[in-house]
Structure 1
Amino acid sequence: MAILDGSILDGALGKLDGYVIYKVGKKTHARKAPKTIANPRTEGQTAQRSKLPGAQTMHRATRGSVLERVYTIVAREEERRSGYHWFLHANMKVFGVNDYVDYPRLVLADGSLQLPFGMRMVKGDAGKVEMEWLDNTSTVTAQSTDRLMVAAIFDNEPYQPVVLENVTGCRADGRGVASIPGGEWNEVHLYCFFGAADGRRYSSCMYFSVCKS
């Protein structure tokens, strides 16, 4: 970068012979113009670009749902700009070309609440899933009234997370049940997490899946 004060180009702006001329305050500067990328669609660049539309599409589907509130809260906890930016930061790596989504690595919920210990699915079929866990009630990050919540993505709607409505179970219960709605799906991806009774805190999620056959 060069300072052009006192030269015949002092006060000029724009591009000239491979340089960009611009002003900062009262001083005129010149720097080399960036080189045009000969091949802007290399394999790596194409793969990277393919991640963003998938992440954006899935985030849009969460608007107006409990998940949108989860992202707003966790973004505040982690001092990120917004729930949208938090979601991209957490999940860009799980999307790929040809509508690929690495569902087991997808983060659909997160936050400062603790998950119960030893959470596992003890029964799962096309109608419902049953979960069990060890009660770890202790402090504000794990209270007995924290309730089980389940988000689902069905394989026939691969970018459409939904929070299931018929879910029962609190942390102190040690077990919970979630009803799975019917439809033209063969596999459902389930993300189980906990929410505080006042809706101000949420936990990270644990992944499970269920197939009809």
Structure 2
Amino acid sequence: MGKISQGVLGGFSGKVGNIVGGSWKGIDYMRIKPSNVANPRTQGQLDQRTKFAKVLNFLQPMTEFLRVGYKLYAIKMTQFNSAMSYQLQNAITGDYPDYSIDYSKVLVSKGNLLRAVGGAVESTVAGVVKLSWIDNSASGGAKATDKALILLYNADKQIAVYDTAGAVRTVGTQNLSVPTDFSGDEVQAYLGFISEDGTEVANSVYIGAVTVA
């Protein structure tokens, strides 16, 4: 039985027929309970599930980072779901069932703050990856105090290493330590920025891939 909590025009919780009501983050919602179908594994459904699984596996290791990187785009959804939506629409390549992630099109942070320019990545010291960028703090709304958002993704091990409060924009470089067993592995490098007070975030930039020394 459904229960009306705020009068006739308010939200309700529970079930009335095939309508289910509830509340999430203070937002009332209603949805239709799907009816059973003889064969739910249609080609379209399989296609979508395969894409979804591919993006989910990619993003799960960086969940905590995405809570910062997508904090401004979590409108009526979680930061993770917002990131899922973006990658599904923009970063999937290939044909069913052989989908893959196009790392160059991934955004691990999203916002209107001026993004990084002149990014580069290298690894010449064991267990250390060095990122560098050009100081563009005099351009647009960028500030010298903006902090780097750095993420390295190891696809072979499905591990992400990151820093959500890195070096400030004017420094132009930062070393990030990685696990010792990353030696010889390729990692994908991303660089973004977040304002000192955390109210502005920049779109991340794909810096490229590098083999860890």
Whether these two folds match at TM > 0.5 is: yes
Select 1:85's aligned residue among 69, 76, 81: 81
Unpaired stretches in structure 1, ≥5 consecutive residues: 1-21, 23-33
SS in 2 for 1:56: helix
Counterpart position of 2:175: 178
Task: Decide which structure has greater strand share.
Answer: 2
Q: Which residue pairs with 1:195 in the alignment? A: 194
1:71 aligns with 2:67: no
Specify the SS of the correspondent of 1:62.
helix
Deviation for aligned residue 1:51: 1.1
Determine the structure 2 residue equivalent to 1:133.
Answer: 134
Shift of 1:147: 1.6
1:40–1:130 distance in 2 versus 1, CA, 3 Å: closer
**Contact 2:122–2:210 (CA<8 Å) still a contact in 1?**
no
Contact 1:148/1:176 (<8 A) preserved = no
Cα gap change, 1:133 to 1:48, in 2 (>3 Å): same
Confirm or deny that 1:41 pairs with 2:37: no
Q: Normalising by structure 2, report the TM-score.
A: 0.64
SS of the residue corresponding to residue 91 of structure 1 reads helix
SS at match of 2:50: helix
Gaps of 5+ in 2: 1-17, 19-34
Distance 1:84 1:122, change over 3 A: closer
Query: Percent sequence identity over matched residues?
Result: 17
Give the TM-score, by structure 1 length: 0.64
Secondary structure of the structure 1 residue equivalent to 2:170: helix
- Alignment coverage as a number of residue pairs: 173
Residue 136 of structure 2 aligns to which amino acid in structure 1? Answer: D
Structure label with greater radius of gyration: 1
User: Quick check: 2:114–2:202 contact (8 Å CA) kept in 1?
Assistant: yes
